[in-house]
Amino acid sequence: MPASRPIILTCGEPAGVGPELAPKALASGVPFVFLGDPRHLPEGTDWAEVQAPDEQVAKGVLPVLRHDFPAAAIAGQPDPRNAAAVIDVIARAVDLTMTGKAGGICTLPINKEALKTGADFPFPGHTEYLAHLAGDVPVVMMLASTTVTPPCRVVPVTIHVAISEVPRLLTPELLEKAIRITDAAMRRDFGLAAPRLVVAGLNPHAGENGVMGDEELRWMAPLLAKLRAEGFNLNGPLPADTMFHAPARTRYDAAICAYHDQALIPIKTLDFAGGVNVTLGLPFVRTSPDHGTAFDIAGKGLADPASVIAALRMAHDMAEKR
């Protein structure tokens, strides 16, 4: 592994599985530093405080950039007093990265409800908050497999919104933005010279020529035709139920989907352990494991570190490419 600027691993929700995954993530071989409160690490963790991300510690020891929280953590029970500090840690990681002191950010999971309740967090998740911190830049969320062939990479155009809101929020402008950002990121961060994208329809059977909904005929197909004429390698709108099996995945590099579950069910079914969430469009690298805070198993030593390890490796590779 070449020497490079370390990745900042943000602590996320201290009552979730994040902090117990941090020491296990040393197995990634990626240089990283944990940003959080060392009191939240599992008892017996071999850690050392550092003053800057690139300060060296002994092999096998977790480097910790200290960020003191108001309260200790009880597994599975988020403390509202800690909510603001969870948010501050993300902002501090962005600052360290944007000022060149770190190579990128890998975020351990936050609990959206805990941040809303404890600190009135006005964003649905990291993705939107990071876009805001970067200067309100347009971004999209991608989830990418790392252990299945052909790979499964998905982008939900609408993200954390009620399903009843999807038809209203899924607009030609939003879909076009997602296509442009994904195409650019596939070239820049995934090394694909000519990315092949597919777009899922909104309705069953992609509307079946208008008999099951007309979004596909009315505006999706014309938008894709316009973008194809510009040179995008685009197929769709496709019926979502038949575009994720292995032979179908050989025909594209990333799938743009209408809504959260249309995109995330296939990737989490195919590669829950190796799935990585990556924000495309930011001026810095950000990845995350695909899973959440897993309160049901937090503190029990059961959490699988595979997704965090994959996320750190992807952040490292992306940072090297930039």
Residue 77: exposed, middle, or buried by beta-carbon count in 10 A (0-12, 13-18, 19+)? exposed
Write down the least CB distance from residue 290 to ligand NAI, Å: 7
- Look at residue 303 and give the partner it binds from ligand NAI, ligand LD2JLWAY, none, a contact being a CB closer than 5 to 8 Å depending on partner kind: ligand NAI
Residue 128 found at the interface with ligand NAI (CB under 6 A): no
Using the minimum distance from each CB to ligand LD2JLWAY, give the nearer residue, 25 or 143.
143
288 contacts 314 by C-beta, under 8 angstroms: no
How many Å apart are CA 233 and CA 216, to the nearest integer?
A: 18
Minimal distance, residue 142 CB to ligand NAI, in Å: 13
**82 touches ligand LD2JLWAY by CB under 6 A:** no
How many whole angstroms separate alpha carbon 104 and alpha carbon 86?
Answer: 18
Given candidates 71, 292, 317, 320, which one binds ligand NAI under the rule CB under 6 A?
A: 292
Of 291, 311, 316, 318, which lies in the binding site for ligand NAI, with binding defined by CB under 6 A?
291
Q: Catalogue the E-assigned strands of 39-84.
A: 47-50, 62-66
- DSSP codes, 72-103: --BTTB--GGGHHHHHHHHHHHHHHHHTTSSS
- Contact between 296 and ligand NAI per CB under 6 A: yes
Per partner kind, with CB cut-offs from 5 to 8 A, the member of ligand LD2JLWAY, ligand NAI, none near residue 180 is none
Closer Cβ to ligand NAI, 203 or 307, answer by number = 307
Strands, E assignment, the chain = 7-10, 32-36, 47-50, 62-66, 104-107, 140-144, 153-156, 196-200, 233-238, 254-257, 276-280, 286-289
Instruction: Check if the beta carbon of residue 312 is closer than 8 Å to that of residue 28.
Output: yes
CB atoms under 10 Å from CB of 139, counted, come to: 21
Residue 268 marked in a binding site: yes
Given the structure tokens 């597994």, which residue do they identify? 75
307 is a site residue for ligand LD2JLWAY (CB under 6 A): no
Among 270, 303, 315, 319, binds ligand NAI (CB under 6 A): 303
- Told to check if 67 binds ligand NAI by CB under 6 A, we report no
The torsion angles phi and psi of 309, rounded to 5 degrees, stand at -60, -45
Determine the size of the site formed for ligand NAI (CB under 6 A). Answer: 18
**Tokens 């690139």 correspond to what residue?**
54
Residue closer to ligand LD2JLWAY, measured from CB, 62 or 264: 264
- Closer residue to ligand NAI (CB): 24 or 199: 24
Q: Which residue has the tokens 């902090």?
A: 19
Q: Which of 12, 18, 125, 305 contacts ligand LD2JLWAY by CB under 6 A? A: 125
Is residue 127 annotated as involved in ligand binding?
yes
Q: How far apart are CA 107 and CA 286, in angstroms?
A: 7
Binding site annotation covers 126? yes
Binding residues for a divalent metal cation: 160, 205, 260
Binding residues for substrate: 126-127, 268, 277, 286
| Positions that interact with ligand LD2JLWAY (CB under 6 A) | 110, 125-127, 264, 277, 288
